[in-house]
Amino acid sequence: MKSKKNGKNTSALKIENISKTGFSLFLDNEKYLLNFTEYPWFKNASGEEILNVKLLNSHHLYWESLDIDLELDSIKNPATYPLSFKNVV
């Protein structure tokens, strides 16, 4: 028995309004603003690198050329995912 081919990805992912302060990400009719203060990994990225994002599943975004992985929940609830860490020696 042969498996059916996967259907089309219906989650619309779009990047717009890249500026010197951040960019807008649209996913499933929701708009998220990613500013470079909260997401510093994108600050020195080119527009082409920011646009080159893949939705690996319904909640995992991946920028291959920048080696950046973000869970959608970290964008929706950034306070839950602090950008600091403790260096344990």
Question: Are the beta carbons of 61 and 54 closer than 8 angstroms?
Answer: yes
| CATH number, residue 60 | 3.30.2020.40
Q: How far is CA 83 from CA 8, 10, 11, 45, 79, in A?
A: 34, 31, 27, 18, 9
What is the residue range of 35's domain? 13-80
The answer to whether position 40 is within a domain reads: yes
Q: What is the pTM of this model?
A: 0.75
**Could you tell me if residue 6 is inside a domain?**
no
Q: Per-block average pLDDT, block size 10, for the chain (89 residues)?
A: 52 89 93 92 95 91 94 88 60
The predicted pLDDT at position 1 comes to: 53
